[in-house]
Structure 1
């Protein structure tokens, strides 16, 4: 998937599955990542569960601000 940009707006979230909690408790668990871009030029990037959740909320709020235009 192409990274979101002003010419390719949208949001991309990557939350890798990590079965290590059962199979290998010592394995490193990758962090979720997210980035977005709006056609107006606003962008955002986040790493980690809490930050990604906040970024998704920010993106949805920002997108709703364009609905009236």
Structure 2
């Protein structure tokens, strides 16, 4: 079927193009994991900072 995603052709390790696609996919996944970790840490810091009063830095009652 034309237009169908053919995994074997796109990521063929015997061709230069296939190796390049593997490298691109690897770097894209590393970048995605990096962004997700950064977002998770940033959200954790926001949640933690919301527990304290901005003026006196005492723990707020919830």
Q: TM-score range by the shorter chain?
A: 0.3 to 0.5
What is the TM-score when the length of structure 2 is the normalising length? 0.36
In proportion to residue count, which structure has more helix?
Answer: 2
What is the TM-score when the length of structure 1 is the normalising length? 0.32
Q: Larger C-alpha radius of gyration, 1 or 2?
A: 2
In proportion to residue count, which structure has more strand?
Answer: 1
